[in-house]
């Protein structure tokens, strides 16, 4: 079978024409940026791929305005370089799962918006969608929509910017993004508490987040994974990490106040700025599980105090490993075998209201038979379907990626 045709629009007008032509011909389109996340979700069977890499470049960046506008295919690395030159950053700390998924493609800013990729600082800075000020996108009719300002049938009053964030390309083709940026911290230090188990670590992280120390990262690594993040000297020692950022004098003073407030008699080490940055990149990008395999990896979001309990319930029934970010509320879990065990994972999550689980990595045949995205309650799924039917009435974009059925996706 011949590979699907690849479409590479160089302008929004070209993208509109390509989508309109596909719709008129009854063809479906798979949306891609750099391709680093193509292996997430159920396999998409489409007549053609529309790739945004030629829709590239920073459109507008005035550091004083704290906003950067860029075309969707702009590499995230290019944006981060421009921001760093002005001591600014995307505060939600975008994750990069390329290494986890065995890719060296890098990622685009449109892909970050479409997947709502948010790193460790999310616990204080919010998710990517909270920094996303505006988007331009092409809907399933081949029409250009800006910032959700255009009134559309059946979605009047809904925030289209927020809907596009995390839609995984099932609503439309993002062509441009506008993100809020903020000043970059002068320095950072991470406290590493030695030897706590999951339950104690959850209490320590909760206590730290409840102080005035302004902790910007809180994670826990079990003994088997600590060395993969922290390196020599930390092997076989469980480690609980607390990051503080800001001006050097302020960080030092807050650390001095925080240590007695968290009330642990355990040994506490300090990572300097360089070591701290390396550790949080490894946590953000899931390096402990970036082993070159396709063994199943789950991203599980639950209330912070429930993370260790959910992981314990799952790993009590199947062999694997887990570590924790977001104060314990984000569980990264890898199974040792090839079975995704979706029923086991979702059964454990169901015991905690508001939880959800995403199968981030698995072999293609496993993803084809597994509900990769967390099933929505029937009323929510019906609303999602109505929204998508309004924006992409003929199911042109990424059909099948999110939903476990042979028809239209639930957005």
Structural domains of the chain sorted by starting position, each given as residue range(s) with its CATH number in brackets? 1-184 (3.30.465.10), 187-284 (3.30.70.2190), 287-368 (3.30.70)
Mean pLDDT of 337-344: 96
Mean pLDDT of 167-188: 95
**Residue 147 clears pLDDT 80, i.e. is over it:** no
Two tokens at 32? 């891609």
CB-side neighbour CA atoms (13 Å) of 285:
23
Q: Please check whether residue 51 is in contact with residue 7, taking contact to mean a CB–CB distance below 8 angstroms.
A: yes
Q: What percent of the chain has pLDDT over 90?
A: 79
Q: Which residues pair with 30 in a beta bridge?
A: 49
What is the per-residue pLDDT for 402? 66
Lowest mean pLDDT segment, chosen from 5-9, 27-31, 166-170, 332-336 = 166-170
What is the per-residue pLDDT for 152? 37
Buried b (16+ CB within 10 A) or exposed e, 116-134: bbbbbbbbebeebbbbbeb
**Residue 232 clears pLDDT 70, i.e. is over it:** yes
Q: What is the pLDDT of residues 108-143, one digit of tens each?
A: 999 999 999 999 999 999 999 999 999 999 999 999
Lowest mean pLDDT segment, chosen from 68-77, 143-152, 218-227 = 143-152
What is the per-residue pLDDT for 408? 31
What is the per-residue pLDDT for 159? 81
What is the per-residue pLDDT for 130? 95
**Closest to 227 (Cα-Cα) out of 321, 113, 89, 338:** 321
CB atoms within 10 A of CB 393: 15
Q: What is the pLDDT of residues 239-287, one digit of tens each?
A: 999 999 999 999 999 999 999 998 778 999 999 999 999 999 999 999 9
Q: Average pLDDT of the chain?
A: 91
What is the per-residue pLDDT for 3? 66
What is the per-residue pLDDT for 243? 99
């Amino acid at each position: 079978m011949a590979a699907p045709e690849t479409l590479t629009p160089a302008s929004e007008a070209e993208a509109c024409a390509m989508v309109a032509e596909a719709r008129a011909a009854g063809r479906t389109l798979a949306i891609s940026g750099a391709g680093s996340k193509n292996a997430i979700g159920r396999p998409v069977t489409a007549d053609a791929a529309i790739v945004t890499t030629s829709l590239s470049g920073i459109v507008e960046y005035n550091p004083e305005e704290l906003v950067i506008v860029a075309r969707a295919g702009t590499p995230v690395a290019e944006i981060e370089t421009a921001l760093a030159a002005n001591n600014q950053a995307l505060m939600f700390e975008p994750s990069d799962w390329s290494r986890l998924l065995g890719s060296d493609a890098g990622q685009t800013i449109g892909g970050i918006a479409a997947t709502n990729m948010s790193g460790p600082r999310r616990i204080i800075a919010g998710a990517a969608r909270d920094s996303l000020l505006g988007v331009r996108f092409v809907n399933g009719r081949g029409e250009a929509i800006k910032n959700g300002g255009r009134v559309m049938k059946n979605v009047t009053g809904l925030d289209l910017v927020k809907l596009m964030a995390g839609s995984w390309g099932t609503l439309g083709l993002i062509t441009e993004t506008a993100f809020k940026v903020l000043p970059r911290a002068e320095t950072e230090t991470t406290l590493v508490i030695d030897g706590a188990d999951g339950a104690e670590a959850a209490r320590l992280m909760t206590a730290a987040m409840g102080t005035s120390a302004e902790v910007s990262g809180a994670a826990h690594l079990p003994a088997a994974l600590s060395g993969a993040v922290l390196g020599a000297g930390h092997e076989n020692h469980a480690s609980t990490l607390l990051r503080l950022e800001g001006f050097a004098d302020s960080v030092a003073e807050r650390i001095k106040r925080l240590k007695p407030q968290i009330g642990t008699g355990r040994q506490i080490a300090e990572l300097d700025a360089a070591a701290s940055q390396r550790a949080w990149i490894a946590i953000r990008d899931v390096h402990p599980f970036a082993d070159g395999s396709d063994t199943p990896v789950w991203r599980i979001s639950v209330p912070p105090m429930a993370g260790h309990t959910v992981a314990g319930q799952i790993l009590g029934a199947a062999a694997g490993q887990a570590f924790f970010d977001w104060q314990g509320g984000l569980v990264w879990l890898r199974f040792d075998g090839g079975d995704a065990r979706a029923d086991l994972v979702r059964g454990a999550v169901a015991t905690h209201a508001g939880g959800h689980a995403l199968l981030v990595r698995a072999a293609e045949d496993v993803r084809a038979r597994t509900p990769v995205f967390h099933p929505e309650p029937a009323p929510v799924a019906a609303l999602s379907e109505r929204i998508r039917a309004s924006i992409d009435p003929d199911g042109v974009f990424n059909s099948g990626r999110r939903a476990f059925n042979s028809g239209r996706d639930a957005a």
